[in-house]
Structure 1
Amino acid sequence: MSSKTVAKEVVEAFRDLGVRHIFGVPSGGWVDYMEALRETDGIDFILTTHEGGAGMMAEVTGRLTGVPGVCFGTFGPGATNLTTGVGEALLDRSPMIALSDEMTESMRGRVTQMGIDHQALFAPLTKKTTRLRADAVRAIITDAAAIATSGRPGPVHIGLPVGMSAEPSTGAALDLSAPWQAPPASATKLTEASALFTAKRRPILAVGLGAVQAQLAEPIRLLAEKFALPVVLTPMAKGMLREDHPSYAGVLFHALSDQVGQTHAQADCVVAIGYDPVEFNLESWMPHVPLINVDVEPVDIDHAEYPDVIDVTGDIAGSLAHLAALDLGPKDWDLVELAERRASMFRQLRPENALLGPTQVLTILRDVLPDDGIMTCDVGAHTHLIGQAWPTPAPRLQLMTNGWSTMGFGIPAAIAAKLAFPEKKVCAVVGDGGFLMTAGELATAVRYDIAFVTIVLTDNDLALIRIKQQRKGNPIYGTPVRSKGTIGGDSIFGVPVVSVTTAEELRAALTDAIASEGPVLIEAIVSSKEYDDLVLKKDKSE
């Protein structure tokens, strides 16, 4: 039995799980927990500018480490601010434990300042929501971590009743539970899948977020090579196959996806590996052919439109090994034709423009950032370019939000990435619209001396929405970020600002910034017109 306070037990329980940082904005009810954090080695509190940023940082921490990211928000507005990051963990499939103040039992349901039902607030955004008890601290936190990391990972909310932090923790100390493992797939389903795969001439592999979480890049590469199969990726699966691999066919949903569609339209079967439709529904791109779904959950698809589905539900690695063991020769794909199409697509993603454009910014950044550096990006037209054009040598070296897709993601994500991997170089690429949403987190970077580079693509335009307006024949309205001008000034919150308008200026600024020991912001003045011919293409022609 423990003789510690609830606050001390909570902090030590998180530390023992492998949590190294708790992100948030403190409240009076959080003071005892902060003191416990101060006294406990191996875990620290990170004061963020906004609870939304705290949630995003916790989500990315969980995504990168596999240990639940932890964040905190107080009553009412603190909790509602936090929900942006909690929703991100839910739909970007990252393990998280979100903490919030809660009213004492006597005040629950009463009319009081900042009083809302946090259990009801977090219920649709989490895998589970619960409330801490002094007699079960370790049990509740261990259970939350197990739920957050099992199946498709996601967030769990724990309410912290105010005043409980100073009470004695009377629950038993628990051993950490073993990591969750999916059971083997049904032998019957494996046999059905093997027979279909054997019979088809042109299967294609569609790799998604679940394959990243299961760390299956090498088995997927070997499967593709053995049977000479094309591979398409969802955006968050970037890095699962290198762009220069003979089987690489491109990223779904992002720039020039109509050209990626020229490949998957030829398929007579789709093998979806860890494919999570939270990024892109299968119906939006798949030809009307049979589907083999290799995942930890059954596929979410319109079965009336796609009746031929084999759900191979269970351990993905074991199911892939079963397919890879089939005694078959290469399938009938023309990989030379695929190579020509891939080369043509990448040429178009590097247009020859006299003025500095987003594609040139990405090309120069890729030259300067080390291969093992981490690039985060915000949501916007530039995300669609990055999804297709950014060479990603391995999974998790390019971070985006494509399930939740919240603007403002890039800077908090970069902070979390640098804290998780301090030895790596980190860069965030953001549009000027998304930058304005979480620019305040640069103050967090200064506070903790977190060294990363932010590139702001300043075009004074919400380009994706502007393009959609124009394609409907509507006038441009409500999408200019500002009428003219730039960020202005030599620094923001103590972060140096360097403004560039040419490729030469950008390369020099990036070289210096990546070598810097503190945060640096580079504002690249670009035109958004380059996006018009590259993004929002149809994945499927019917």
Structure 2
Amino acid sequence: MSMSTVAEVFAHTLKEIGIRYVFGVPSGNMIDYMEALRKEVGIDFILVGHETTAAFMAGVCGRLTGVPGACFATFGPGATNLSTGVGGAQLDRFPLLAFTDEMPDDLLKRTVQMNINHQQLFFPITKWTTRLNPNNIEEIILKGAGITTDDTPGAVHIGIPAGIGRNPVKEAKSDVDYLRLEKKRWSPLVEDQVAKVEKLIHKSKKPVFAVGLSAVRAQVSEQLIALAEKCQVPVVLTPMAKGLFPEAHPLYAGVLFHALSNEVAKVYSQADLVIGIGYDPVEFNYEDWMPEVPLIHINNSEADVAPGKFPEVSNVVGAVDVALNELLKLNVEPKEWDLQFLKANKKQIVKKLTPETDSFGPLAVVAELRNAMSDDGILTVDVGAHLHLIGQQWHTPSPEKLLISNGWSSMGFAIPAALAAKLCNPGLPVVALMGDGGFLMTVGELAIAKRLNLNIVFVVIYDDSLSLISIKQNKKHFDRSYGTDLNVLEGEPTNHYFGVPVVRVTNSNEYRSALKKAFSAAGPIVIEAVVGSKEYDQLVLQPNK
């Protein structure tokens, strides 16, 4: 046994877990932990401009690596700022460890500057919240890391009492196993489950597979393709599952509730059975889109559906990959779907999402970016009308190549996500795509890209409006400009943000040239694409959204 400080044990435990970065804004109490991180080889503290960014970046690191991301913030306003990103990790299913300063025991229930109850603050937006003391540092951090990655990933909050960082503690020199939870070992389906599922599938003539983000974690792309081909059943995806099933496949039918959702509905509205595979309702409830037909729900938890909405709900609770292997064993004849109809419907969707020649609107911004970006690149996208286009239009080779927030759906996600993606994958192209509204929320974080010299391409769709809200106003026959006009562009273009160069484009030729320049640049660059927003009206928030 050797003596170390609380801060040193903290830093060493995070490093041994596999955490590479801790994101945050310093506080007086946290500087002991920052110094310990500085001395610990293989882990670094990254300063951000705002605590929400710290949590978003940490969550995305967790999503891309499978190792919990880590962030910290100080009392009160630091914690409340952090909470937006912590909620994002919780509902977007990213593994995250969030640390905050907390008052020492004697002041915890006193009226003190900046003091609020952090345990109550983080309780509804985490899987678990707790508090360190000098006697349980490693135990608590390891348990928290296990909880973040167990079953459905999410956030854990750990409060650190002020003033304990330099306290000496005894540290056991032992290998760290951070998954110190008893993991569920899923068994093959019981005979009754198999028989019930088999009966429903045999009875149906036109089932549909609805695939969600739990299937992404289960890495079941090959089983999913094999099962769809065996049964000749079309596949629809939720946005965060995009990339799990090939878009060029004849049985691919589209993404639910994004652009041209009414066209995708022409397929699933014919279904007499829906089979949810890793379907997580955090993106979209079943009853918001499904026809009133039986449901087979395959996931690690039961379906969350309104009582009496569907004639039958059959839950297959367990590991998604185990369940798909069982389904592949069933003797199922090909179903009665018209493959020519599926092909024609997908062709119609593609046609409507193809920009007109010489036009320069949101469709062209997305299409030209896809042409310029290699398949191994990572795209991060903010919330807004443009995200609905991406959901249907963007060719996605695999799920980790497209990072969005759809469970939490927070604006201001794209820039922090791109920063984290580049840190985790320094050799890959990374692009952040956002509207002008989301850009205004996080433009200050471009300073991180400049400081760390991260060659990220930031594409901002400038239409001088919060377009998604404007469309909703218009559908209710309200004044679509009230409270949504931005008007942030001046006559003369800005030449840099915090030292990051800016290129403003107003047509496709300028845009293509700017993209070529940006992808070959040594550091970050912003492309301001000035467009109109009318294209959105016929594509976004259609029926069956």
Structure 1 portions without partners, runs of 5+: none
> What SS class does the counterpart of residue 29 from structure 1 fall into?
coil
Match of 1:513 among 507, 512, 518: 518
1:98-113 correspondence to structure 2 within 5 Å: 98-113=98-113
Query: Structure 1: how far apart are the matches of 2:65 and 2:252?
Result: 27
Once the two structures are TM-superposed, the CA of residue 237 in structure 1 deviates from its matched residue by: 0.6
**Number of residue equivalences:** 540
> What SS class does the counterpart of residue 304 from structure 1 fall into?
coil
Structure 2 residue aligned with 1:183 = 186
1:430 correspondence with 2:434: yes
Structure 1 residue aligned with 2:352 = 348
Structure 2 residue aligned with 1:153 = 153
1:278-297 correspondence to structure 2 within 5 Å: 278-297=282-301
Structure 2 residue aligned with 1:503 = 508
Once the two structures are TM-superposed, the CA of residue 355 in structure 1 deviates from its matched residue by: 3.6
Once the two structures are TM-superposed, the CA of residue 484 in structure 1 deviates from its matched residue by: 5.5
Structure 2 portions without partners, runs of 5+: none
CA contact (8 A) 1:56 1:88 kept: yes
Structure 2 letter corresponding to 1:310: S
CA deviation digits over 1:255-294, x for unaligned, max 9? Answer: 0001100000111111101101110110011011111111
1:53-92 correspondence to structure 2 within 5 Å: 53-92=53-92
CA contact (8 A) 1:137 1:169 kept: no
Structure 2 letter corresponding to 1:217: S
Structure 2 residue aligned with 1:18 = 18
1:391 correspondence with 2:390: no
Query: Structure 1: how far apart are the matches of 2:178 and 2:115?
Result: 35
CA contact (8 A) 1:24 1:54 kept: yes
Query: Structure 2: how far apart are the matches of 1:72 and 1:177?
Result: 19
CA deviation digits over 1:492-515, x for unaligned, max 9? Answer: 001000001111111111111112
Structure 1 residue aligned with 2:457 = 453
CA deviation digits over 1:306-364, x for unaligned, max 9? Answer: 24011100111010000011122311111221011001111101131644111111111
Distance 1:448 1:483, change over 3 A: closer
Structure 2 residue aligned with 1:378 = 382
Structure 1 letter corresponding to 2:14: F
Match of 2:494 among 473, 489, 495: 489
Distance 1:48 1:67, change over 3 A: same
Distance 1:516 1:161, change over 3 A: same
Once the two structures are TM-superposed, the CA of residue 372 in structure 1 deviates from its matched residue by: 1.0
CA contact (8 A) 1:292 1:312 kept: yes
1:321-332 correspondence to structure 2 within 5 Å: 321-332=325-336
> What SS class does the counterpart of residue 455 from structure 1 fall into?
strand
CA contact (8 A) 2:437 2:466 kept: yes
1:411 correspondence with 2:415: yes
Structure 2 letter corresponding to 1:248: Y
Match of 1:309 among 300, 307, 313: 313
Query: Structure 2: how far apart are the matches of 1:175 and 1:97?
Result: 17
CA contact (8 A) 1:20 1:44 kept: yes
Once the two structures are TM-superposed, the CA of residue 488 in structure 1 deviates from its matched residue by: 3.3
Question: Normalising by structure 2, what TM-score?
Answer: 0.97
Once the two structures are TM-superposed, the CA of residue 517 in structure 1 deviates from its matched residue by: 1.8
Structure 2 letter corresponding to 1:489: T
> What SS class does the counterpart of residue 97 from structure 2 fall into?
strand
> What SS class does the counterpart of residue 387 from structure 1 fall into?
helix
> What SS class does the counterpart of residue 337 from structure 1 fall into?
helix
Structure 1 letter corresponding to 2:141: I
> What SS class does the counterpart of residue 263 from structure 1 fall into?
helix
Structure 1 residue aligned with 2:96 = 96
How large is the RMSD of aligned CA atoms in angstroms? 1.5
CA contact (8 A) 2:246 2:252 kept: yes
Distance 1:388 1:182, change over 3 A: farther
Distance 1:70 1:340, change over 3 A: same
Question: Normalising by structure 1, what TM-score?
Answer: 0.97
Structure 2 letter corresponding to 1:176: D
Query: Structure 1: how far apart are the matches of 2:438 and 2:297?
Result: 35
Query: Structure 2: how far apart are the matches of 1:493 and 1:114?
Result: 30
1:124 correspondence with 2:127: no
Structure 2 letter corresponding to 1:202: K
Once the two structures are TM-superposed, the CA of residue 471 in structure 1 deviates from its matched residue by: 1.3
CA contact (8 A) 1:135 1:171 kept: no
Match of 1:267 among 266, 271, 277: 271
CA contact (8 A) 1:99 1:157 kept: yes
Query: Structure 1: how far apart are the matches of 2:164 and 2:141?
Result: 15
